[in-house]
């Protein structure tokens, strides 16, 4: 990897001269956006040398903080705040680019002890380089001077501002000799210059213009005058503020993927005709699989319990149709990589309700325990996708006082509109279910959180909501719907790392879960159907559908008109269960809809594959978007070395697998996939050897 | 008198140049100009030539004008932004300076203040455009000038022996479009190349003065071959310089070569511009050997 | 880190009106800033004005030379059918695409993508801070001779409109710089901030140190 350092150490004399009046130094080094990844445990070479030099010159170095991306003020503040040695220091010496130094200097005005800040480094001018722009081809730098009046249309795509020493915009100065710029000999002295830097930009521009049609050359013959007002202070400040506001609205990080909800957001929920067969896996929840209660040949009814929950974290499974069990065997599952024991039922088309199904007494007459038992019996799990058994959430440990209930209608995943439609069409059930859940938990205050991009749902729920239920409109930002983010946004409470919402007195449930609860009480029906969105660019007629659990994905895609241009197969179609961000890629198009299926997404496969083989360029974007404030860049580099321990200590278990880092990564590294793997490995080790837990 | 009038009359125009001193006492420079009196049509004054800080070109032009010479004020874009350039051009008008030569200028890294900020707010093309606007009665920003607009004869430069030539040609065209009225070229040693260049620019219909630099030594010739853009001294000329060291040292060979070049180039161009680089005392001899005086 | 602004519509139209146009939008840094809505409105207008939009591709990180090269092959058919390419990205994206097309066309004359005219649809503006992370109002001029030691950690180059190194110009009024931007955007006088900062940390003596000069050869 090339050394893309953004700064170099100042001459020793200059550093020592600055520090003549100070004795005790606290050193802060930036791990550099472009510095090669260091092996953990090994200190940054420059800081080691710097410390040595300072000591040789009679200075005391009290401590050294090595931080990735000093410029990231929020994270930097947290890390430095913990360093107590800083109090005893006479000054802070910063080894970073100018932004890092300024960040630290600003922090000394408030959050960290007020000490003089000195800089040990000079920034290396990179000429407005950007993201992956360190490429150069044929001596042309792909850099952008951000001049505010792009000339590239006149210069055949070679930037004269970046590539010409005099930034000439009307043609060559005539100073080039043998294609080399007149400053060729002088530029040789500038650090880091390569031979290519010396080429005459205008000769290259001319060569390329020559390949093009005359028209562009004519345009190039007009006198061009630069307008130095273009990169105006106003635009710059306005946009900087805007971007900052957006980035930190509600919670740190997050991304803004294209919503693409317009495919289905206006389409009412359709109840689809039943299919001939359903495949109902006995594992449709977090925890232990349910035990089968039926065998091949058994007759079952709608709502018939076919799987018995086993253990505290588990859930009952019910038949979604009436008919005959034709097999109980392992089948492909949309979530688990291995085949899962499933009950396969052939539809008799009679839609006969199980005699056990009876509507329950009115809500007022039900005790919290009774409601909890109904929820348990109905096999209700979190329908937002996590599939955590709801009754477990309703049994908080005695020492945890729950004071707030949040109903999650954020639906921040792009494309998906099932929850949105449920909120519009089943408003009353939502309120009913929510009241039931609040009754179980005995909480006085409930919130319904909805992203601002669903005005109709907001209006409907506002109209129906009651005194102790407040509809909160949250910004459309991914992953706004994650529990932790909602709690922070609504209650300004921080769920501790490794903790659960109940640690801060909150229970969060999905809107569709509330509907299932309402249904279980009102009609007695267990969780046998749900609303999903079948969507994506490849779907002919995207829809919001109410489907029976166990219906195959393929049948539903066919119901929506099938796929556009070609076959429903891997290679031409990318099938995901869920949304594009957290959705799980499916290889088998015949997997069944389960309780946690929020949607079926069919798109074209991405043109560039995500892989860990592509190098991290340390651009820092993932740090900027990770809502859990982790360092996905470093975690990814540890994953390359399969260093699970280090990943554990760097907090990978806190990863909520939201996919923001994957989404933003310019190198398209498959970060989330390896984080999932690491979490699995770490958990396996913890189970085997609990002492290793920190 | 504006050079363009001389061109219009069909005169073969001859100019030479002086470089201001590094210091404020300018008598010596004026003495150099005296050598040229009556022998050239105008004298160019260089503007911090080679990015080396010197006495100003504008003041030098003023002194020359006072003494009855016809100065050509050279202006580069290296040291001034568009405000300073325009105000210096207005200054020149007030001093009665009629001829301007508008150039981009060498990069400061080549000179004696390497750490200077390279300005290049405008470049040669936009500078010509700017002067044209001043002549039309407004400044570059479009504000009206008070009183009479200034009038100049606008010169520009081109490098006729550059490799590749095409970028030079398209920029030359831009300069003409922007308002250039005559061209002065980089030093020419290869007559064939120059002739070919003249063929290519015939259609532009603009007066061109071939540039002549007196060859002082073999070392200078070799240095130019290696370092100076668009200049190539052919081997036969270097051989000629090598042949008689004494003659070369006294400047005789340089004079002979220059005079011969002028004679060869004269049929193809509208004038010559001598760049004696301190050897102004050799200019009369060159011109007389070339049959121009 | 860079942000973009749509070029004046008239300028763009004068180049592409009535032609067959291939549109390329880069959403890679859209998380930073790309005027998506304005672009889409413009494209709609363009479509209604008789300009044929052969293809409108939304891609990401055009600046990544390798991906862009791969992708250009995927778009070869549509590129063949179009006359002009308009790229909505920062200047780097435009340069990369232009260079790749140029390479392709110089390698093979049968190539579908010879002599395309490329137009940037956006002007790129400089945004405070480096790439990657969310911009703050800190900025680094990458001058190559960090002056922050003398200025209490407030950069005189980026917080002073004139980038003065040796003290304020005297043009500030009530702590605000004389360069009052349009729409009431006013920047604080950097040198007043520096002075106050040095005063608080008791280091006003630094101001009396040697006269500082920019060395532009380091830039």
* A:132-151 residues touching chain C, CB 8 A cutoff: 132-133, 135, 137-138, 140, 142-150
C131 within a domain of the structure (yes/no): no
Residue C198 resides in a domain: yes
Residue B232 above 60 pLDDT?
A: yes
Q: What is the mean pLDDT of residues A516-535?
A: 96
- B170/A178 Cβ within 8 A: no
A560 pLDDT exceeds 90?
yes
C181-209: average pLDDT: 76
CB contact set of B102 (below 8 Å; sequence gap of 6+): B75, B124, B127, B128, B131, B154, B155, B156, B180
In this complex, is the C-beta atom of C214 within 8 Å of any C-beta atom belonging to chain B? Answer: yes
Q: What's the mean pLDDT in B201-207?
A: 94
- Whether residues A116 and C135 touch (CB distance < 8 A) is answered with no
Q: Which residues in chain C have their CB less than 8 angstroms from residue A116's CB?
A: 152, 201, 203
DSSP-derived letter for residue A447 is: E
Average pLDDT across chain A, whole number:
87
Separation in Å, CA C113 to CA A137, A615, B266, C59: 19, 30, 48, 18
Contact B63, B30 (CB under 8 A): yes
CA A414 to chain CA centroid, Å, is 12
Q: Which of C126, C158, C177 is the last residue of a domain?
A: C126
B139 touching A, CB under 8 A? no
- Listed by number, the residues of chain A in 386-405 with a beta carbon closer than 8 Å to a beta carbon of chain C are none
A428: helix, strand or coil: helix
Q: Are strands A305-308 and A317-318 parallel, antiparallel or unpaired?
A: antiparallel
C114 and C25 in a common domain: yes
Do C122 and C154 fall into the same domain?
no
Task: Give chain C's mean pLDDT.
Answer: 79
Residue C26: give its domain's CATH number. 3.40.50.2300
Residue A480 in contact with residue A412, Cβ under 8 Å?
A: yes
Whether residue B126 and residue A178 make contact (CB cut-off 8 A), yes or no, is: no
Question: How far is it, in rounded angstroms, from Cα A521 to Cα A514?
Answer: 11
Judge: C217–B117 Cβ closer than 8 Å, yes or no: no
Whether C92 sits inside 8 A of A236 (CB atoms) is: no
Q: Is residue C103 part of a domain?
A: yes
Q: Is residue C138 part of a domain?
A: no
Q: Which of B78, B129, B229, B231 to mutate to test the interface with A (most CBs of A within 10 A)?
A: B229
Strand, coil or helix: C143:
coil
Q: Which domain holds residue C86?
A: 2-126
| Rounded Cα gap, residues A653 and A320, in angstroms | 36
In chain C, residues with a C-beta closer than 8 Å to the C-beta of B117 are 214, 216
The answer to whether A48 contacts chain B (CB < 8 Å) is: no
Q: Which of A28-37, B18-27, C139-148 has the highest mean pLDDT?
A: B18-27
Please give the mean pLDDT across all residues of chain B: 94
**Of A120-134, A528-542, A628-642, C119-133, which has the strongest mean pLDDT?**
A528-542
Residues of A in contact with C155 (CB under 8 A): 98, 102
Q: In this structure, are C171 and C78 located in the same domain?
A: no
Asked whether residue C104 falls in the same domain as residue C182, the answer is: no
pLDDT at site A193: 46
Residue-wise pLDDT for A402-430, tens only, equals: 999 999 999 999 999 999 999 999 999 99
pLDDT digits (tens, 9 = 90+) for C131-150: 546 666 677 777 778 888 78
Q: How far is A222 from chain B (nearest CA, A)?
A: 7
Residue A30 has phi, psi (to 5 degrees) of -90, 130
CA distances from C160 to A104, B120, C170, C173, C176 (A): 19, 22, 12, 14, 10
Q: Per the omega criterion (within 30 degrees of 0), is the bond before B164 cis? A: yes
Q: What is the ipTM of this complex?
A: 0.80
Q: Out of A364-378, A571-585, C165-179, which region has the weakest mean confidence (pLDDT)?
A: C165-179
Residue C180 lies in a domain: yes
A172 part of contact set with chain B, CB < 8 Å: yes
Task: State the average pLDDT over residues A249-276.
Answer: 91
Comparing alpha-carbon positions, the chain C residue that sits nearest to B116 is C216
Q: For residue A221, which residues of chain B lie inside 8 Å, CB to CB?
A: 170, 173-174, 177
pLDDT at residue B226, as a whole number = 86
pLDDT of residue A183: 82
Q: What are phi and psi of B245, to 5 degrees?
A: -60, -40
Q: For residue B45, what are the β-bridge partners? A: B18, B73
Is the domain of C162 the same as that of C86?
A: no
Q: Does A186 touch chain C (CB under 8 A)?
A: yes
Work out the pLDDT band at B135, boundaries 50, 70, 90. Answer: very high
A373's CB contacts (< 8 A; 6+ apart) are none
CA B27, B28, B34, B40 torsion-angle sign: negative
| Whether residue C185 sits in one domain with residue C81 | no
Contact B117 C215 (CB under 8 A): no
pLDDT at A145: 77
Contacts of A32 in chain C (CB under 8 A): none
**Does C211 touch chain B if contact means CB atoms closer than 8 Å?**
no
Split into its structural domains, chain C has a count of 2
Is residue C201 assigned to a domain?
A: yes
Are A531 and A425 in contact by the 8 Å Cβ rule? The answer is no
CB contact under 8 A, C214 and B115: yes
Q: Using alpha carbons only, what angle is made at residue A686 by residues A680 and A690, rounded to the nearest 5 degrees?
A: 170
One domain, residues C12 and C117: yes
At residue A620, does pLDDT exceed 90? no
Neighbors of chain C by Cβ distance (3+ pairs < 8 Å): A, B
Mean pLDDT calculated for residue range B19-41: 95
C215 CB neighbours in chain B (<8 A) are: 115
Q: Is residue C137 assigned to a domain?
A: no
Q: Are residues C47 and C95 in the same domain?
A: yes
Give yes or no for residue C183 having a pLDDT over 50: no
Q: How much is the average pLDDT of A600-616?
A: 85
What is the pLDDT, as a whole number, of residue C109? 45
Most C-contacting residue of B79, B81, B117 (CB-CB within 10 A), to test interface: B117
Cβ contact, residue pair C182, A232, below 8 Å: yes
| Count of CB pairs separated by less than 8 Å, A with C | 291
> Is the same domain home to C20 and C61?
yes
Q: Are residues C19 and C82 in the same domain?
A: yes
pLDDT at A231: 64
Confidence of residue A693 (pLDDT cuts 50, 70, 90): very low
Same domain, C112 and C209: no
What pLDDT sits at residue C216?
79
What 3-state class would DSSP assign to B211?
Answer: strand
Residue of A155, A169, A172 to mutate when probing chain B, most B C-beta within 10 A: A172
Q: Confirm whether C140 is domain-assigned.
A: no
Which of A71, A122, A258 lies nearest to residue C144, judging by beta carbons? A122
Looking at per-residue confidence, does B13 or A14 come out higher?
A: B13
Domains of chain B, start order: 11-151 (3.20.20.220)
Query: Could you read off the pLDDT of A303-358 as tens digits, one per residue?
Result: 999 999 998 899 999 999 999 999 999 999 999 989 999 999 999 999 999 988 88
Q: What is the mean pLDDT of residues A650-677?
A: 92
| A173, A190, A201, A203, best to mutate vs chain B, most B CBs in 10 Å | A173
Residues of B contacting chain C (CB within 8 angstroms): 108-109, 114-118
What is the side-by-side strand order in the sheet with A270-271?
A270-271, A543-548, A529-535, A599-603, A574-577, A584-586
Range with the poorest average pLDDT among A151-165, A316-330, A515-529, B33-47:
A151-165
pLDDT reported for residue B170: 82
Query: Looking at residue A690, what is its pLDDT?
Result: 63
Q: What are the tens digits of pLDDT across the range A45-72?
A: 667 888 989 999 999 999 988 888 888 8
Length, in residues, of chain A = 694
What was the pLDDT predicted at B264?
A: 96
Instruction: List domains and CATH numbers for chain A.
Output: 7-123 (3.40.50.2300), 138-219 (no CATH), 270-357+528-603 (3.10.20.600), 363-522 (3.40.50.11540), 621-692 (no CATH)
Q: Which one of B121, B140, B157 has the shortest CB-CB distance to A174?
A: B157
The span from the CA of A200 to the CA of A197, in Å, is 9
Kind plus residue range of the DSSP H or E element containing A247 = helix A233-248
User: Span A171-189, mean pLDDT?
Assistant: 79
Strands B13-18 and B271-275: parallel
Q: How confident is the model at residue B235 (pLDDT cuts 50, 70, 90)?
A: very high
Q: Please state the length of chain B.
A: 293
* Nearest residue on chain C to B114, alpha-carbon basis: C217
Q: What is the pLDDT of residue A466?
A: 84
What percent of chain C shows pLDDT beyond 70? 84
pLDDT score of A9: 83
A326 near A342, Cβ under 8 Å? no
pLDDT band at A219 (very low <50, low <70, confident <90, very high): low
- Which stretch of DSSP H or E encloses residue A280? strand A277-281
- On chain A, the residues whose CB falls within 8 A of the CB of B170 are 171, 206, 217, 220-221
Residues 97-126 of C with CB under 8 A from A: 97-99, 102-103, 105-106, 114-120, 122-126
- Does C216 reach chain B within 8 Å, measured CB to CB? yes
C109 touches chain B (CB under 8 A): no
- Please indicate, yes or no, whether residues C120 and C153 belong to a single structural domain of this protein: no
Given an 8 Å threshold on Cβ–Cβ distance, is C140 in contact with A123? yes
- Please state the rounded mean pLDDT for residues A588-604: 94
Between residues 71 and 100 of chain C, which touch chain A (CB distance below 8 Å)? 71, 74, 90-92, 94-99
pLDDT at A692: 47
- Closest residue of A to B225, CA-based? A177
Q: Which residues in chain B have their CB less than 8 angstroms from residue C214's CB?
A: 115, 117
Please tell me which of the candidates A171, A178, A186 has its beta carbon nearest to residue B171.
Answer: A171
Asked whether the predicted pLDDT for residue C72 surpasses 60, the reply is yes
Window 241-300 of A, Cβ < 8 Å to C: 242-244, 247-248, 255-256, 258
């Amino acid at each position: 990897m090339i050394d893309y350092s953004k700064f170099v150490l100042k001459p020793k004399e200059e550093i020592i001269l600055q520090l003549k009046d100070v004795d005790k130094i606290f050193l802060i080094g930036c791990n550099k956006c472009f510095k090669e990844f260091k092996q953990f445990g090994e200190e940054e070479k420059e800081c080691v040398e710097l410390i040595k030099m300072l000591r040789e010159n009679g200075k005391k170095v009290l401590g050294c903080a090595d931080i990735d991306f000093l410029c990231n003020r929020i994270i930097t503040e947290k890390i430095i705040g913990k360093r107590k040695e800083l109090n005893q220091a006479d000054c802070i010496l910063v080894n970073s680019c100018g932004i890092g130094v300024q960040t630290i200097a600003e922090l000394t005005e408030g959050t960290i002890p007020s000490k003089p800040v000195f800089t040990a480094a000079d920034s290396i001018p990179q000429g407005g380089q950007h993201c992956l722009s360190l490429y150069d081809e044929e001596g042309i730098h792909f850099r952008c001077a951000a001049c505010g009046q792009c000339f590239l249309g006149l210069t055949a795509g070679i930037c004269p501002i970046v590539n010409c020493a005099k930034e000439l915009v009307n043609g060559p100065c005539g100073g080039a000799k043998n294609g080399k710029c007149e400053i060729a000999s002088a530029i040789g002295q500038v650090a880091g210059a390569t031979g290519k830097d010396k080429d005459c930009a205008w000769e290259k521009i001319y060569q390329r213009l020559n390949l093009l049609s005359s028209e562009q050359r004519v345009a190039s013959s007009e006198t061009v005058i630069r307008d130095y007002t273009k990169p105006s202070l106003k635009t710059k400040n306005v946009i900087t503020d805007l971007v900052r506001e957006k980035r930190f609205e509600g919670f740190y990080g997050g991304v803004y993927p294209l919503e693409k909800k317009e495919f289905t957001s206006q389409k009412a929920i359709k109840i689809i005709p039943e299919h001939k067969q359903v495949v109902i896996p006995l594992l449709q929840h977090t925890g232990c699989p349910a035990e089968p209660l039926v065998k091949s040949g058994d007759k079952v009814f709608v709502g018939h319990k076919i799987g018995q929950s086993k253990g505290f974290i588990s859930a009952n499974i019910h038949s979604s149709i009436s008919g005959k069990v034709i097999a109980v065997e392992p089948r492909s599952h949309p979530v688990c990589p291995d085949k899962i024991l499933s009950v396969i039922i052939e539809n008799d088309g009679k839609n006969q309700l199980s005699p056990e199904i009876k509507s329950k007494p009115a809500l007022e007459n039900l005790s919290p325990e009774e409601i909890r038992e109904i929820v348990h019996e109905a096999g209700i799990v979190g329908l937002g996708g996590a599939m955590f058994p709801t009754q477990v959430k309703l049994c908080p440990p005695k020492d945890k006082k729950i004071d707030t209930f949040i109903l999650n209608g954020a639906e921040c995943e792009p494309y998906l509109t099932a929850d949105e439609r449920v909120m519009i069409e089943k408003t009353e059930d939502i309120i009913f279910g929510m009241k039931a859940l609040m009754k179980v938990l005995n909480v006085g205050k409930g919130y319904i959180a909805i992203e601002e991009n669903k005005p109709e749902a907001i209006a409907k729920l506002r109209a129906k909501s009651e005194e102790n239920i407040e509809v909160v409109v949250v910004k459309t930002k991914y992953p706004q719907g994650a529990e932790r983010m909602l709690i922070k946004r609504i209650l300004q409470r921080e769920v501790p790392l490794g903790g659960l919402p109940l640690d801060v007195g909150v229970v969060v449930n999905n809107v569709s879960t509330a509907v299932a609860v309402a249904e279980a009480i009102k009609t007695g029906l267990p969780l046998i159907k749900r609303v999903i969105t079948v969507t994506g660019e490849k779907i002919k007629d995207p829809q919001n559908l109410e489907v029976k659990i166990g219906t195959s994905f393929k049948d539903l895609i066919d119901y929506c008109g099938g796929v556009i241009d070609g076959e429903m197969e891997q290679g031409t179609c990318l099938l995901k269960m869920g949304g594009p961000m957290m959705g799980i890629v499916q290889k088998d198009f015949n997997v069944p809809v389960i309780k946690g299926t929020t949607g079926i997404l069919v798109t074209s496969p991405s043109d560039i594959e995500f892989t860990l083989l592509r190098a991290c360029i340390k651009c820092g974007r993932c740090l900027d978007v990770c809502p859990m404030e982790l360092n996905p860049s470093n975690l990814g580099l540890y994953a390359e070395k399969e260093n699970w321990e280090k990943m554990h200590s760097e907090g990978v278990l806190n990863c909520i697998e939201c996919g923001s880092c994957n989404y933003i990564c310019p190198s398209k590294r498959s970060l989330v996939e390896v984080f999932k793997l690491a979490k699995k490995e770490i958990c396996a080790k913890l189970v085997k050897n609990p002492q290793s837990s920190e | 008198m504006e050079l363009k009038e001389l061109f219009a009359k069909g005169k073969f125009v001859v100019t030479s140049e002086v470089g201001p001193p590094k210091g404020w006492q300018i008598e010596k420079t004026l003495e150099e100009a005296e050598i040229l009196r009556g022998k050239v049509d105008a004298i160019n004054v260089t503007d911090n030539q080679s990015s080396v800080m010197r006495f100003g070109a504008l003041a030098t032009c003023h002194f020359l004008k006072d003494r009855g010479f016809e100065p050509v004020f050279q202006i580069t874009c290296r040291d001034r932004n568009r405000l300073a350039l325009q105000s210096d051009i207005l200054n020149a008008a007030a001093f009665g300076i009629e001829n301007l030569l508008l150039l981009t200028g060498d990069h400061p890294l080549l000179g004696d203040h390497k750490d200077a900020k390279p300005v290049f707010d405008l470049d040669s093309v936009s500078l010509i455009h700017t002067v044209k606007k001043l002549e039309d009665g407004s400044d570059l920003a479009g504000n009206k000038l008070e009183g009479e607009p200034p009038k100049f004869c606008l010169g520009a430069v081109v490098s006729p022996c550059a490799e590749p030539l095409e970028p030079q040609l398209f920029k030359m065209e831009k300069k003409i479009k922007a308002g250039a009225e005559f061209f002065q070229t980089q030093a020419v040693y290869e007559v064939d190349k120059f002739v070919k260049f003249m063929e290519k620019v015939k259609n532009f219909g603009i007066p061109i003065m071939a540039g002549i630099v007196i060859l002082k030594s073999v070392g200078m010739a070799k240095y130019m071959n290696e370092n100076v853009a668009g200049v190539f001294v052919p081997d036969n000329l270097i051989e000629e310089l090598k042949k008689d060291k004494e003659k070369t040292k006294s400047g005789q060979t340089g004079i002979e070569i220059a005079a011969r070049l002028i004679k060869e180039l004269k049929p193809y161009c509208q004038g010559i511009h001598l760049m004696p680089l301190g050897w102004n005392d050799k200019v009369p001899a060159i011109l007389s050997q070339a049959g121009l005086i | 880190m860079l942000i973009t602004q749509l070029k004046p519509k008239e300028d763009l139209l004068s180049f592409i009106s009535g032609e067959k146009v291939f549109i390329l939008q880069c959403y890679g840094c859209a998380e930073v800033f790309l005027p998506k809505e304005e672009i889409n409105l413009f494209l709609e207008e363009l479509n209604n004005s008789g300009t044929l939009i052969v293809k409108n591709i939304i891609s990401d990180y055009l600046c990544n030379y390798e991906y862009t090269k791969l992708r250009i092959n995927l778009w070869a058919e549509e590129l063949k059918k179009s006359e002009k390419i308009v790229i909505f990205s920062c200047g780097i994206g435009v340069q990369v695409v232009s260079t790749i097309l140029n390479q392709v066309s110089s390698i093979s004359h049968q190539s579908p993508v010879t002599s395309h005219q490329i137009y940037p649809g956006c002007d790129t503006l400089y945004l405070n801070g480096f790439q990657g992370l969310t911009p703050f109002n800190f900025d680094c001029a990458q001058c190559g001779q960090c002056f922050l030691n003398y200025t209490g950690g407030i950069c005189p180059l980026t917080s002073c409109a004139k980038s003065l190194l040796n003290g304020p110009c005297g043009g500030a009024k009530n702590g605000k710089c004389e360069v009052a931007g349009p729409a009431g955007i006013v920047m604080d006088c950097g040198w007043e901030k520096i002075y106050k900062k040095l005063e608080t940390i008791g280091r006003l003596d630094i101001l009396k140190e040697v006269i500082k000069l920019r060395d532009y050869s380091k830039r």
